[in-house]
A and B are shown apart, each in its own frame.
Chain A
Amino acid sequence: MEIVPMTVPDTLEGAYVLSVVDFFLSIVIIWAISLVLYLLPYLNKLGDVTDESLKGGH
């Protein structure tokens, strides 16, 4: 069996497929992004960036 990339057909069934796949995938992707954000606090082990050291650009 060969799997080729395809798009959703323009039918009511297509709308169901689009909706289910899109809703499910968006939950998965946003969950994956949230997992990445859990890693951000570990950056603070590298050191501290103070607001004062950044302010005053030209």
Chain B
Amino acid sequence: MNINAPMPGKIISIKVNVGDSVTKDQVLLVMESLKMENGIRTRNEGVVKEIFVKAGEQVQTGSPLVSVE
């Protein structure tokens, strides 16, 4: 399942690596929007399958960020 950007902004840091197991509500990455840092979480537990963005990258609303299976 893909986790998409809920708003436009810049990726500040990525907290997980491909292959990591993640639990429900865990913060996967931090993005900045209008000078506020927001933790982007996963609603499901699973394993990180793919990370689509790099730190420093600018994303638009709906851009895929991380895929968790």
Chains A, B in direct contact (C-beta < 8 Å): no
Interface residues, chain A, with chain B CB atoms under 8 Å away: none
Interface residues, chain B, with chain A CB atoms under 8 Å away: none
